Structure 1
Amino acid sequence: MRHDVLSTAMVVITVCLISTLCVATSIQAQSQPAIQWVETSQLPKGQGFAARFVADRNIASHEDVLFADDFETGELGAKWDDISNRAHALAYVPPSGDLSLLGERSLQVSAKLNENTGGGFTKWFASTDRLFIRFYTKFDANCDYVHHFCTLRANKSLEGKERWSGFGGAGLLPDGDERFSTAIEPWGNWGKWQPPGRWNFYSYWHTMKPSPDGKYWGNGFRPEEQPNIERGHWICVEFMLQHNTPGEEDGEQAYWIDGELRGHWRGFNWRTNPSLLANAFTLESYVTDRWTQQTRNTVFFDNVVIAKQYIGPSGAPK
């Protein structure tokens, strides 16, 4: 009798161990994304529909534009839904520099250590299956490393508290029906690359890889080789996000610099719920003293467009 009890107990323990192993293996498999670099991308490059709009004038009239702001008219942040202006970090200024595409005003973000961390604007918008976001930016000649830059976030809704579900959560694994995000930003490689660094995607989603400390910090995506970001010159930055079929690994992202396609990745399982959409864009320069030593760090922005198709650089004056 005791032998039968022990045998039964051993079977139960074995089954439990196998079940636990299977669950652990399943969890591990789910946390390892099958992201692929696209070697021969068919995405467009060079000029897009913006080439038909000199300095982006009237570009909002294009049927595929969801939002546009060239900062030429209105009060500070008038076209945006949320303003983060810590210690008066934001201002409209003439777009001094080497481009004649930017009109009479640009947005200046001045982050001052021990005074503020910078700031920016956020816009919520009705999303679409594939999104393109383009803006111009310039890093001041003395600008140091930037902690966070421009971020596209998926929120559960455009209304009430659910419009904020994609914000926060640093170091935590997102829920597939609550949030995901991707940011295009300069990355300094822990101080190895000249400030402000090189262009990089910083992405959060529910099947992302954990960091060595066991937490879930953003996963980075960038080509193996690309030049350092040049300070003191206007740069046209554009990125694309393709929503996945909920639960499937068919999501994508890509980015362009001055019309050059720098990187295209496939295999993202961004979300598990079809109602979760990338629907909020934050244009900002956020600086902390973790790697930044320069006291004042200034970044400029202009000609922001969110659209359903590739935008490309602004049209040049004839």
Structure 2
Amino acid sequence: MGCGDSAAGSDSAVDSRAATDTGAATDTGAATDTGPRVDTGTPGPGSCSDPAADWLFCEDFEAGGGDFDTWFAASDFVTSKGGDDRGRLNLSEQEPHAGRWSMHMPASPDSGYQGGNLRWFACEGDQRTNCPLRSYDRLHFRAFVRFADDHRYVHHFLNIGGSQPDRFWSLGAAGCLPNGELGMSTTVDHHPNSHESFFYSYFPEMTCSTGCSRYLDIDAQCMQCADKGLPTCTDRQQCCWGNTLEATPAATFPVGRWFCLEMMMQANTPGDHDGTMAYWIDGEPAHQVDNMLWRTSPTLALNRVGLQHYIETSDADGHSNQVWFDDVVVSTEPIGCERF
């Protein structure tokens, strides 16, 4: 994980409706890992042509006839990192999960083996950059995923995040300690080669490191965090990269076939340790962490997701880590794997 990256799920202008990505994993925090146990419930019928009442967003990649630009112009995704490069983002007819098309992130050699990122925002009104944002205390995010047979690595993967409703562009605060007022995020990632999954999360009680002066300018890092109003170096000089919270027992993503991945983030009552994050693989509970304190402000809420397969050239080791996505849904309630 690169120490110079922006915080997982953070945003800044890149493409026509554009965003950036993510952070660097370290230790686990003070939250309680309770193991896989949350029930996703029994979802009712629904599809992108007939969405369930609790669905906020549904994308099956069928619009546009396979032309990325035509599809993106009509999509409710708001930003795309790599959207101007078909070696990073394109629509593919190669074994879609359903229908004719899926989203392919090829990480091609001609594109520096880089991944891509599509971000949805809970816009109030039209889906556009800098929109005012709706606020939610809980979001579910489901995607069907297929890693190539030789897939090895991703820097950061699916993400749910939140900000104040008037902060479309969040702070990009990698290495900074959240204050419970400006932003919150969690990302489902996996370890290289093994594809054993874990949460990568930023939260006010996370574990930080004092050893980062070995590889960066700690004075500059502390000043950057202070300029953003984040209390990272109040007591000591340190870096706060996202914490890694492992699944126990290990929860491994399949490779070479489609699988269903649903993640959920529940914001806490402001100031209380009652937040939760969880994810399911093919409908089975994989990992849950309870007792999270994400926020202290009642107006900090969830309002965005990232369909990302974020890789930089320096991470890729000269290898194309390909992935396909299909039948994506964001909802306030459990989604499950049967509706697409």
Range into which the TM-score falls when normalised by the shorter chain: 0.7 to 0.9
Equivalent AA in structure 2 for residue 84 of structure 1? K
Report the Cα offset of residue 198 of structure 1.
Answer: 1.4
1:296 aligns with 2:320: yes
Equivalent AA in structure 1 for residue 81 of structure 2? S
Equivalent position SS for 2:85: helix
Instruction: State how far apart, in whole Å, the 2-side matches of 1:211 and 1:314 are.
Output: 43
1:184 aligns with 2:188: yes
Aligned pair partner of 1:76 in 63, 71, 89: 71
Equivalent position SS for 1:152: strand
1:255 aligns with 2:279: yes
Does the C-alpha gap of structure 1 residues 103 and 212 become closer, same or farther in structure 2, counting only changes over 3 Å? farther
TM-score (norm 1): 0.76
In structure 1, the partner of 2:235 is none
Report the Cα offset of residue 156 of structure 1.
Answer: 1.5
Report the Cα offset of residue 222 of structure 1.
Answer: 2.6
1:156-171 aligned within 5 A: 156-157=164-165, 159=166, 162-165=167-170, 167-171=171-175
Instruction: State how far apart, in whole Å, the 2-side matches of 1:133 and 1:58 are.
Output: 18
Instruction: State how far apart, in whole Å, the 2-side matches of 1:103 and 1:95 are.
Output: 11
Equivalent AA in structure 2 for residue 38 of structure 1? T
Equivalent position SS for 1:145: coil
Report the Cα offset of residue 288 of structure 1.
Answer: 2.8
Instruction: State how far apart, in whole Å, the 1-side matches of 2:190 and 2:50 are.
Output: 27
Report the Cα offset of residue 230 of structure 1.
Answer: 2.6
Report the Cα offset of residue 260 of structure 1.
Answer: 0.4
In structure 2, the partner of 1:37 is 33
1:134 aligns with 2:177: no
Equivalent AA in structure 2 for residue 183 of structure 1? T
Does the C-alpha gap of structure 1 residues 253 and 40 become closer, same or farther in structure 2, counting only changes over 3 Å? closer
Does the C-alpha gap of structure 1 residues 293 and 230 become closer, same or farther in structure 2, counting only changes over 3 Å? farther
Aligned pair partner of 1:64 in 54, 61, 72: 54
Cα RMSD between the aligned structures? 2.5
In structure 2, the partner of 1:305 is 329
Structure 2: gaps of 5 or more residues: 1-27, 65-69, 123-133, 212-237
Does the C-alpha gap of structure 1 residues 133 and 96 become closer, same or farther in structure 2, counting only changes over 3 Å? same
Report the Cα offset of residue 258 of structure 1.
Answer: 0.3
Report the Cα offset of residue 219 of structure 1.
Answer: 1.0
In structure 1, the partner of 2:241 is 217
Between Structure 1 and Structure 2, the one with more strand by share is 1
Between Structure 1 and Structure 2, the one with more helix by share is 1
Equivalent AA in structure 2 for residue 68 of structure 1? C
Aligned pair partner of 1:286 in 310, 317, 321: 310
> What is the percentage of aligned positions where both structures have the same residue?
30
Instruction: State how far apart, in whole Å, the 1-side matches of 2:139 and 2:251 are.
Output: 26
Instruction: State how far apart, in whole Å, the 2-side matches of 1:39 and 1:143 are.
Output: 27
Equivalent AA in structure 1 for residue 139 of structure 2? L
Check conservation: 2:35, 2:247, Cα contact below 8 A.
Answer: no
Does the C-alpha gap of structure 1 residues 291 and 275 become closer, same or farther in structure 2, counting only changes over 3 Å? same
